[in-house]
Every structure is written in structure tokens, then in C-alpha cells.
Amino acid sequence: MRKILLPALIIIGASLLIIRVFYLQIIDDSFKLKSENNAIKIEYDYPERGYIYDRNGVLLVANQPSYDIMVIPRELNKTDTLEFCKLLNITKEDFIKKIEKAKVYSPRLPSVFLAQLNKTEFAAFQEKIRKFEGFYFQKRSLRDYEANYGANIFGFITQANEKLIEKNHYYKSGDLIGKQGVEESYEKILRGIKGVKYFQKDKFNREIGSYKDGKYDTIALQGEDINLTIDAEIQKYGEQLMVNKRGGIVAIEPKTGEILALVTAPSYDPGILVGRQRSKNYTKLYRDSIANPLYDRSLLAEYPPGSPFKIMTGLVGLQEEVIDEETTFVCNHGFAYARGHFQRCHCGGGIRDLHVGTYKSCNAYFSNVYLRTIAKYNKPAYAVDVWSNHIKSFGLGQFMGYDLPTGKKGNIPTSKTYKRIYPNGGWRGTTIISNAIGQGEVLMTPIQLANMMSAVANEGYYYTPHIIKKIKGETIDKKYTTKHVTTIDKKHFAPMISGLFDVYNKGTAYALRVEGIDICGKTGTAENFAKINGVRTQLEDHSIFVAFAPKDNPKIAIAILVENGGFGSTIAGPIASLMIEKYLRKKITRTDLETRVLNTSLQGRYAKLGGLSEEVKKELWIKDSILKSKTKLAAAKKDTLKTKK
């Protein structure tokens, strides 16, 4: 049997090899194209990148022409280096360095010698380029930003690095690629497909025409235009309101999950990352480790949510039937628990039910609700997991799956969290009571806060937040039109919404009412601690506000966080109120409030941090001023308008 099998395998293998060679050499000339490319010049035709519009067809990002000087090292002849460098305003050292880099990439393939010449530079060099063999122009298009806002949404365009080129053979040296924002998320759609042309060269290395009459040439396919869910007007307005402040704003349309505004502050003009100065400007932004303008606080910054989290505590209590809307607790200007510990409350004290406890933001009321929730089950570990699962059904404590390339999970603690913190056990509801009011181990990002309010506005469901509204010729991913239902029954939302409505009518946001618009909201103040010179020091609190409007058939849900802004009703609340009015009415009637917010600067507070050591600055800002609880868990988690073309 072996005597028959071995010769058979040899014959089969030889036959397959002969067939493959025949195919490559006789049928498939593209093999020759690759093997003979010493005599072939390859040129790429780069398509225009797709335009970016807002939800209403407002042009946000277009294109402008740009020119790269390409070099093929093996074709270089004696060059008047002095004249060449003078024309391009570079030094001889720069010239040599760039040529050596091109040789490393490939002696016979073109690579970028000097990128992104503007029209004036191109015109000056165009007349002389024939004098310099081995150099030629490659036309490309650069971004042209019609908006000086939205940098965190758009992202930017940069050259593909060597690591990416090795991984993805579509990209060659000098090719441009989207980085961050929608430019990265929708790169394949926006970039289009580049065309390729092959030219035959003679033995003197001169072009003598198209290779095989253009048989292998391909045409460039232009990138597709996209419409974002962003409303250009309120995005711009939100960034104006956040000037001289730090933090984030996220606004979502509850019925669709479409992101209406995504503001991070401080930000920058996206136009500065276009052209020859892009690298220099990017370096400046990157090295600003205090303001950190490249850091998208709306998606990445994890904060203790404070009082807005009481909404979750109340809803879970209702679902678990440890309270109903008429259940009352007494507030003695705070909440006494566990061996003399006392949690202060500023609601004024008295008897509180769900409605009053919500609009007065009573710490004692919600701490009692939380303790009852944990005490319902025999084991605190099991109870915490029940509580945690309810909270996570709102999309909290996990990556949300939105269509931007960056994000953080936040933190919703589970029994595993406390097993890790207390390996010897002994913890109970009073040990983790801070969770009740959005402190302790609870961390959320602004987009998670906004999504939470969307789910409340919808009375128990939400859609995955997303930034894409329309792609020309395509449909958006089904996951953005899939409804996510929370574990809280619909009937429990009405009493909570009633309390949130009276936050504006009777409670902490009374001064922020908008005539004719029924707003439901919640103020919040997140404590802000840092260890400075070994001492746990309380800094100015973060100002938080969440809301949705109108009360019936909500059109917008919003979350505002202002770092070191103090009470939620002082800065974050007014910003939310103005953003809601601007979106729903397209104008502002309370110009005095608008002027006050626009003129409010927190730079003085931030400047105090400027004199701190670099180690302290890193602790304060790279960790996002996260509350460092006694467990140290939180500290460990780093976590203008143009019409359509």
C-alpha cells in the first residue's frame, strides 16, 4: 500500500505545482506585474474623502487640494541640492535625512519626501520640478473644516505609520488615514478606494507609456458622504458655554439614541491639525498635561455621579418592592449609621417620601432605600449583585457600544468588587452606603449619565447612543435601532419622573425654569478629593446636572459635568437649561443667564493647580480628579453654515 501511496502523492503534488506555475505565468499576468516591477512605475490616484454633514444637512467637513513631493531614490540623478532646498525652505541636513528615510522604505518605490504643500508652494516648485529627476508631485486632498468646533467628534487625518502599513496592505508610505472621532470610526467609508496606474519604463528608466495598455489600471472611487446625528447649532453653543471651564456635555434624543451634542472642554479648532503645521500643533496639544485638550471628557472621564444616581437607587427600590411611592423616612439633617457614622444632608430635614425625597435630594431617604434593598436578601453579596444587575441594565458599568473609537466603562460595583476589597468578609449594607448617593465605588462618564436619563425619559428603555445618522447609499448598523429594555417595570418611572419634574418647580433647580418648557432634572455635586503631599485634601466639588425635556414626549436628554464647578445648580444646571431651550426653541430668551454663564471662568481655580508638583498634577488630572475612597478602588481605575454640495 505504501509503495502505491507515496508515488501517487508525489505525482499529485507535482501536478498542482505545474498548474500553479502555468496559471501565474500564462493566465495571470499580474504575477509578472509584481516580479517585473523594476521596469514599472506605479502611481496612485487618491480620491476625495467623503464630506461630513450634521443631522440637518449643514456642511461641517469638506476638502481642499494638497500636493506631496514624492521621491524614488533609485531614479535620483545629480541634483542641485542648494537650489532644491532653497525652493522648499529646508536645510541640506533635512534633505539628506528625508532621502535616507525613503531609501529605507524602498529604493525603487515612491514615498513621500515632503507632504502637504499648499497652492503657493506647489506653484513655485511646479516650474522647477523637471530639473530634479526622481521627484514628482502626488495630488491629495486635505480636510477643510467649515466648523471651528467639534474636534473631538471629527477626529483628524494623519499619515499611516509603519506598523499600520505592515498590518493593512491597502496603505502605503505617505497615505493618509483617519484618527480618532468619526474619521477613524468610518475610515473605510470616508476614504473611498484609491486608483492605481502602471507605466512601462525603458532601459534608460524613462516612461514609455501605460503598462499593457492600462489593463491593470484601476480608477479611484470617491469616499461616501455621511450625515452625523449632531445638531451643529447646539454643538457650537455647548462649546461656547464651556469656554474657560473643564468638563463635558452629552445630549441625546431619547426616542432614537442619536447624539445631538458631544462637548468636551477645553477643546481646540480642528483646523489646526491640517497642513504642514499639523505635527507641531498636535505636539503642543499632546504635551498640555493639565488642560489636556485631546482628552475627550464626555466619553473618557469617569466621575462619581453624585445625586443624579439617586434616581437609580429609587427605581431599584421600587422594583425590588422594598418601598412604594408613599413610603416615608425621617431625615434628621442627615443619616446616622454604623457605630456613630453620620452622612450629612442639606435638604432641610423632615419626613420624606419618594416625591419629596427626589426633588429635595434627600441623602437620608435614599440611604434608607439602599439599605432596605441590600437587607432584602440574606447575603449582602447576593443583594449587591441584584442591585448591580438592575443598574447595569441601563447601560452603566460597561462599554456602551457607540460608534466612536474611545470610551470608558465606568464602574458599578458587584460582590466581586467587595470580595476584592474585603477579602476577610465582614462588609454589609452600611459599609457601602455611599453607593446610595452616587459616591463610593460608583463611577460614570457623562455619556452614561445622558443615556441613563434617556432610559428614564422613555420609561424603561434606550437605544445605543450613536453619532451616525445616514451614510450615502448604505443603512446604519442595526444595533443602533435595537431597543434595550431595562429591568425596571414601566409603572415605576411615573412617580420618579414626577419628583424630577418638581426639581424645577419646587426644588434645587427652581431658578432655572424655562417658561413653557416642562423640564425634569436632577442637580448633583460630586466630591473631589486628592492626596497632596501625603494629605487627603478636598478640592472644589464637581458640578453635575442631568435632565430631559419636555416631560411628555421628550426630545432631548442631557448630562452636564463641570470640573471644580461647585454645586450642580450653579454652573452645570444653567448650562443644561440653556442647552435645552436652544435646542427646543432655536433661541434664548434668558439672555442675562446666558451672559452670566458665558462670562463665568473657572481658570482661577484651575490656576491654583498650576503651582502643584508634576506628581500631584498627574494625580489630579490624568486620573480625572476621581474621588479616592478609603478602599482605593476608584483611584486604581483609570479608567458658518453651508448647503449640501
User: How confident is residue 317, by pLDDT bands cut at 50, 70 and 90?
Assistant: very high
Element (H, E) at 2: helix 2-22
Average pLDDT, stretch 269-290? 87
Looking at the domain assignment, is residue 217 inside a domain? yes
User: How confident is residue 342, by pLDDT bands cut at 50, 70 and 90?
Assistant: confident
Q: Are residues 131 and 241 in the same domain?
A: no
C-beta separation of 261 from 248 below 8 A: no
Average pLDDT, stretch 44-51? 90
C-beta separation of 113 from 70 below 8 A: yes
DSSP 3-state assignment of 141? strand
User: How confident is residue 357, by pLDDT bands cut at 50, 70 and 90?
Assistant: very high
Crossing angle, helix 310-319 and helix 363-375, to 10 degrees?
40
Q: Are residues 414 and 313 in the same domain?
A: yes
User: How confident is residue 637, by pLDDT bands cut at 50, 70 and 90?
Assistant: very low
Q: Can you give the pLDDT at residue 17?
A: 63
The mean pLDDT value of the chain amounts to: 85
Lowest mean pLDDT among 8-12, 275-279, 387-391: 8-12
Q: Measuring CA to CA, which residue among 414, 366, 368, 365 is closest to residue 387?
A: 414
- In the numeric block, the cell 436619563 is attached to 453
Average pLDDT, stretch 592-615? 78
Q: Can you give the pLDDT at residue 4?
A: 63
Looking at the domain assignment, is residue 432 inside a domain? yes
Q: Are residues 423 and 470 in the same domain?
A: yes
Residue ending a domain, among 228, 258, 288, is 228
Task: Pick 262 or 70 by higher pLDDT.
Answer: 262
Q: Are residues 222 and 261 in the same domain?
A: no
Q: Can you give the pLDDT at residue 528?
A: 72
Q: Which three cell numbers stand for residue 173?
A: 508610505
Q: Can you give the pLDDT at residue 565?
A: 85
Average pLDDT, stretch 269-293? 88
Examine the pLDDT at 156 and tell me if it is beyond 50. yes
Q: Which three cell numbers stand for residue 517?
A: 418648557
DSSP output for 317-356: HHHTTS--TT--EEESSEEEETTTEEEE--S--EEE-HHH
Q: Can you give the pLDDT at residue 38?
A: 63
Looking at the domain assignment, is residue 7 inside a domain? no
pLDDT digits (tens, 9 = 90+) for 182-215: 999 999 999 999 898 888 877 666 777 788 878 8
Examine the pLDDT at 27 and tell me if it is beyond 60. no
- In the numeric block, the cell 429609587 is attached to 314
Examine the pLDDT at 15 and tell me if it is beyond 70. no
User: How confident is residue 128, by pLDDT bands cut at 50, 70 and 90?
Assistant: confident
Q: Are residues 188 and 246 in the same domain?
A: no
Q: Are residues 310 and 372 in the same domain?
A: yes
Find the CATH number of the domain harbouring 123.
3.90.1310.10
Q: Can you give the pLDDT at residue 197?
A: 87
- For 48-59, what is the HEC assignment? CCCCEECCCCCE
User: How confident is residue 391, by pLDDT bands cut at 50, 70 and 90?
Assistant: very high
Q: Which three cell numbers stand for residue 301?
A: 472621564
Q: Can you give the pLDDT at residue 553?
A: 95
Q: Can you give the pLDDT at residue 293?
A: 93
Looking at the domain assignment, is residue 13 inside a domain? no
Dist CA 370 CA 363 (whole Å):
11
Burial class of residue 60 (count of CB atoms within 10 Å of its CB; 0-12, 13-18, 19+): buried
C-alpha distances in Å from residue 322, one per residue of 378, 380, 384, 495, 642: 14, 15, 14, 15, 56
Average pLDDT, stretch 23-39? 51
**Torsion sign, CA atoms 483, 522, 536, 417:** negative
**Torsion sign, CA atoms 35, 36, 38, 44:** negative
Examine the pLDDT at 378 and tell me if it is beyond 70. yes
Task: Pick 160 or 448 by higher pLDDT.
Answer: 448
User: How confident is residue 639, by pLDDT bands cut at 50, 70 and 90?
Assistant: very low
User: What does DSSP say about strands 52-53 and 226-228: parallel, antiparallel, or unpaired?
Assistant: parallel
CA 638 from chain center: how many Å?
Answer: 16
Q: Are residues 138 and 269 in the same domain?
A: no
Q: Can you give the pLDDT at residue 322?
A: 97
Average pLDDT, stretch 496-512? 91
Percent of the chain scoring above 90 in pLDDT: 50
Lowest mean pLDDT among 215-229, 382-396, 519-533: 519-533
Q: Can you give the pLDDT at residue 237?
A: 97
Looking at the domain assignment, is residue 33 inside a domain? no
Residue ending a domain, among 212, 228, 244, is 228
User: How confident is residue 44, by pLDDT bands cut at 50, 70 and 90?
Assistant: confident
- The predicted model scores a pTM of 0.83
Examine the pLDDT at 477 and tell me if it is beyond 70. yes
Containing domain of residue 161, as a range?
A: 39-228
Dist CA 276 CA 348 (whole Å):
60
Average pLDDT, stretch 356-360? 93
pLDDT digits (tens, 9 = 90+) for 517-568: 999 999 988 777 666 677 777 777 889 999 999 999 999 999 999 998 887 7
Which DSSP letter does residue 225 get?
Answer: P
Examine the pLDDT at 415 and tell me if it is beyond 50. yes
Within 8 A by CB and 6+ apart from 75, the residues are 133, 134, 205
Q: Are residues 194 and 304 in the same domain?
A: no
Examine the pLDDT at 627 and tell me if it is beyond 70. no
Dist CA 68 CA 177 (whole Å):
15
Q: Are residues 335 and 382 in the same domain?
A: yes
C-alpha distances in Å from residue 184, one per residue of 156, 253, 295, 473, 493: 8, 24, 16, 20, 38
Q: Are residues 406 and 514 in the same domain?
A: yes
Q: Can you give the pLDDT at residue 36?
A: 46
Examine the pLDDT at 373 and tell me if it is beyond 50. yes
Q: Are residues 237 and 360 in the same domain?
A: yes
Looking at the domain assignment, is residue 9 inside a domain? no
Task: Select the highest-mean-pLDDT range: 112-126, 248-262, 364-378.
Answer: 248-262
Examine the pLDDT at 54 and tell me if it is beyond 50. yes
Examine the pLDDT at 623 and tell me if it is beyond 50. no
Task: Select the highest-mean-pLDDT range: 157-161, 432-436, 553-557, 624-628.
Answer: 553-557
Q: Are residues 142 and 280 in the same domain?
A: no
Q: Can you give the pLDDT at residue 626?
A: 33
Total Cβ atoms within 10 A of residue 224: 18
DSSP 3-state assignment of 69? strand
Looking at the domain assignment, is residue 26 inside a domain? no
Task: Pick 228 or 28 by higher pLDDT.
Answer: 228
Examine the pLDDT at 621 and tell me if it is beyond 50. no
Examine the pLDDT at 414 and tell me if it is beyond 90. yes
C-beta separation of 457 from 548 below 8 A: yes
Looking at the domain assignment, is residue 190 inside a domain? yes
Residue ending a domain, among 228, 253, 280, is 228
Examine the pLDDT at 331 and tell me if it is beyond 50. yes
Find the CATH number of the domain harbouring 438.
3.40.710.10
Number of domains in the chain: 2
pLDDT digits (tens, 9 = 90+) for 56-98: 999 999 998 888 888 888 888 777 788 888 888 888 888 889 8
